[in-house]
Amino acid sequence: MKRNRGLTAVIAITLILGLVVTGCGFATNPSGTLAAKEMKMSFNFGIEPKTLDPQISDGVPEAIIELNMFEGLMRLDKDNLPQLAIASSVDVSVDGLVYTIKMKDTKFSNGDPLTAADFKASWLHALDPAAASTFSYQMFYIKNGETYNGNKAKAEDVGIKVVDPKTLEVTLEAPCPFFKSLLAAPIYFPVDQKNVQANKNWNTEAATFVSNGPFSMKSWSHNDKIVLLKNPNYWDAANVKLTVLDFDLVEDGKASTTAFEAGQLDGNYNLTPEDITRFKKDGTLKQAPQLGTYFYRINTTKKPLNDPRVRQALSIALNRQDLVDNVFKGGQVPAFAFVPGGIPDATPGKDFRTTGGNYFIEDIAKAKQLLADAGYPDGKGFPDLTILYNTNGSHQIPAQAIQDFWHKNLGINVKLLGQEWKVYLQSQESLQYDISQAGWLGDYIDPMTFMDMFVTKGGVNQTGWSNAQYDIDIAAVKKTGDQTVRIQSMHDAEKILMTDMPIIPIYFYVNNCVLKDNIKGVLVDPQGYYDFKSVTVQ
């Protein structure tokens, strides 16, 4: 799956992100004369989507596919700033609580008219407790959204009002400086309610799949390929040049790289560390900073992982620089906090990460002492642990390295368990693991996109961890539009998170992919989303 800034901060981030996107060769203005013929491209993400219902899906690959098939009221531009999309205007009340949104006259891919009622029904579906949407909390900014999701209010109490077929009125719980950016997130995309009523499982097969974005689905060969076609009913179809967009679903990183080098793919996102090194050396690699953190979740409901001293020991017994240089090999930045750089702090020109600094240092001697204090001197009596990782990508290799660090430095035994994507996600959601590899990409440029995921019983907490003061700090952020108060509360919350250590940050992401030189106009934002709307093939 967006930005509270003063004018100075907006300018700073716009310049930074503009350099990131265009300077790394991802987004360039189309040039040359385009022939009036079929224009195709193919790109591999390496994952079979768990679901392509935008209100329910919770993975980055799914979000990327949805971004190119759907469109919300707003869409992020090349500078990651929200621009009018399905909305023709957005009027915000003086107190920042009421958004009156006028809509363009648009249609779904099957010709059904898109109305304000489709937006309302889609959003209520995400908030419906029966739907169990992982990202429902992204709608808790809407009045009574959280209470409805918690079975403490009715659907009619939620602050979403259909004024007329083309006007939506949204009332918030408190001012939300980045709400316009949230309106560009997948969970806020509209779904054709007429189609939903006719086809309960509408999002699982191409024959029943209906969307409203630049592309529509032609076919879905599960675990192989999704083929999209230019959507003639898209309101901005005149500016969509691609006629065919193939999303390959090749999980094997080596196989997808072989396909790219053989000319069978135009781009590949699923790269092994070895191929990243090789492509970087020969100048083929496309690389840009990414607003994300690779980390390990800890199941804090299990002994001895319920002891924060044990969790802290596991964290500081690692050597992140060694992992980055010799295992991941992708130019990542070692992480000694959870929120990555690139997000403005309260003071214009300051960065949240730079201001907050590091929260811990690696120290094997201290790690051993912490483990001894917890009752396990030199690892004696410590039960075997298992690291869970998903088999898509190269997560086994770093898991083996971390396994070795913990055995060598702490004297504990760790097993490894690899699971395919859907099973791995279910294991995390149900807390059927000890320690699990994970990653998080921000949904908007504000620390909150990283901080609110660990509130008690949060949909993506998935650690069993709970801290009352942490919950208070996050709640305080959501009750004010005062940037100074908001940012300080999030610094306070991050300190608690990094002290209790229900997660172990490993590194801050870098976006790596390969792309043929004749593919122009791919937008890659800091969240890791690929937007193919403006792509041309030369």
pLDDT tens sequence across 116-131: 999 999 999 999 999 9
Averaged over 380-392, what is the pLDDT?
Answer: 94
Highest-scoring range by mean pLDDT, 53-67, 383-397, 406-420: 406-420
Averaged over 473-479, what is the pLDDT?
Answer: 91
Q: What is the mean pLDDT of the chain?
A: 90
pLDDT(17) > 80: no
Residue 440, helix vs strand vs coil: strand
What are the tens digits of pLDDT across the range 72-106? 999 998 888 899 999 999 999 999 999 999 999 99
Q: What is the rounded CA–CA span in Å between residue 453 and residue 463?
A: 11
pLDDT score of 105: 97
pLDDT score of 192: 98
CATH of domain 31-254+516-537: 3.40.190.10
Q: Is the Cβ–Cβ distance between 441 and 1 less than 8 Å?
A: yes
Residue 384: both structure tokens together = 């075997």
pLDDT score of 486: 94
What are the tens digits of pLDDT across the range 498-537? 999 999 999 999 888 999 999 999 998 887 789 999 999 9
Residue ranges covered by each domain of the chain:
31-254+516-537, 288-511
Identify the CA nearest to 75 among candidates 533, 511, 520, 535: 533
Residue 281: both structure tokens together = 């050396």
Q: Is the Cβ–Cβ distance between 297 and 503 less than 8 Å?
A: yes
CATH classification (class only), 288-511: alpha beta
Identify the CA nearest to 460 among candidates 270, 310, 295: 295
What are the tens digits of pLDDT across the range 153-204? 999 999 999 999 999 999 999 999 899 999 999 999 999 999 999 999 999 9
What percentage of the chain reaches a pLDDT higher than 90? 78
R_g (Cα) of the chain, nearest Å: 23
pLDDT(137) > 80: yes
Q: Give this prediction's pTM.
A: 0.79
pLDDT score of 422: 86
Q: What is the rounded CA–CA span in Å between residue 51 and residue 309?
A: 38
Averaged over 332-346, what is the pLDDT?
Answer: 95
Identify the CA nearest to 418 among candidates 402, 437, 431: 437
The amino acid sitting at 425 is L
DSSP per-residue codes, 227-288: EEEE-TTSTTGGG---SEEEEE----HHHHHHHHHTTS-SEE----HHHHHHHHHHT-EEEE
Burial 14-52 (b: 16+ CB within 10 A, else e): bebbeebbbebbbbeeeeeeeeeeebebbbbbbbbbbbb
